[in-house]
Structure 1
Amino acid sequence: MLGGLVAVAITIWFYKIAASKGVPAAQWGIAGLISFYVPNFIWSLLVAKPWLASLHNQGAAFKSSLVGHSSIFVGAAVAYVVWLVFLRNAKSAETPST
């Protein structure tokens, strides 16, 4: 649930910034969504799930909760880096008039 809300917020964030810069907003909104979900999914499968299994065996409920939500933080961090590197410096594709 929380991951879905963060994904929607990131998509809207990318969309609004792209629209204000005059670049294709829908494409950047989708790029923001993808930049959140791909690392989120990879982190969940490769790191969080095995880590959670070991924490459940130890009975560490609080750590399990943090690890369970860690993929959200990883996805948000990667989306921020995509914004920082690509969208922040994006320029409008308008052709200059001659």
Structure 2
Amino acid sequence: MRNSRIPHASFTYEFSDDNILQIIDQDQGKTVTNDIDYVLSEISREENRPLAGCTVIYRDSMGFWDGVALTASGQFSNFYSVRETDVEKALQKVRGTIR
């Protein structure tokens, strides 16, 4: 049996002006969903700051935006449903401006 190790998730990200982290799964290696701890730690390392206080959404490999709840220290807590395919609608939902 071969030891085939799946590479970590490939992703891009950006922050909005109001500190909403938007992660996009590039659909290579593991999914962002299945590698969320790694993804968040890499972003925190690259930004040289904890993600505590950030709102986080991500576009999964199926094209849906959903939310990532963080602990007070900025670690992964759980996922929550946003279920939008349009990033602007997803941002409006997490900002609480539409339901």
For the aligned pair, the TM-score class normalised by the smaller chain equals: under 0.3
Normalized per residue, the structure richer in helix is: 1
The two structures have a TM-score, normalised by structure 2, of: 0.25
Normalized per residue, the structure richer in strand is: 2
Q: Which has the higher contact order (CA 8 A, sep 6+)?
A: 1
The two structures have a TM-score, normalised by structure 1, of: 0.25
- Structure number with larger C-alpha Rg: 1
